[in-house]
Amino acid sequence: MRRGLTPLLWTLFSTGGTLAAFLFPVHLFLTGVAFPLGWLEPPRYDFALRLLVHPLTRLYFFLLISLPLFHWAHRFRYTLYDGLKIKHLTLLIVVFTYGVALAGTLAAAYTLLCCVP
């Protein structure tokens, strides 16, 4: 890993971690627990679509998906180093973790830019 990239990756890690800290619990609570168990009513389809069509919502979802993936990549990379003691596989780990984050970012960009009706 080139030294020049480290500050950028660390910034992505910390902004992604902050976004996830503030916004992920409420979203997962609603989508994964409260809606499926019928505690709260999920948004009707036309309302969900109307929200998603708005550019600000799409920007919101893009950041909400992309930056936390880079947070994961950075943190998980060091967990693999220290936890499993496989520092010698650095290149493989770096390509895998940041590769997944990049792929998720591209998939989110594509979905939000090209697929919203």
Using CB under 8 A, which of the segments 1-9, 63-71, 88-96 binds other proteins? 63-71
Of 57, 91, 71, 55, whose CA–CA distance to 15 is shortest? 71
Count, residues near other proteins per rule CB under 8 A:
57
Quick one: 71 or 93, whose CB is closer to other proteins? 71
Closest CB 8 distance from other proteins, rounded Å = 17
103 binds other proteins per the rule CB under 8 A: no
Mapping DSSP onto H, E and C, the string for the chain reads CCHHHHHHHHHHHHHHHHHHHHHHHHHHHHHHHHCCCCCCCCCCHHHHHHHHHCHHHHHHHHHHHHHHHHHHHHHHHHHHHHHHCCHHHHHHHHHHHHHHHHHHHHHHHHHHHHCCC
Binding residue for other proteins, selected from 9, 76, 94, 96, defined by CB under 8 A: 76
Q: Using CB under 8 A as the criterion, which residues of the chain lie in contact with other proteins when the complex forms?
A: 14, 16-18, 20-33, 35-37, 40-45, 47-52, 61, 64-66, 68-69, 71-72, 75-76, 78-79, 83-85, 100, 104, 107-108, 111-112, 115-117
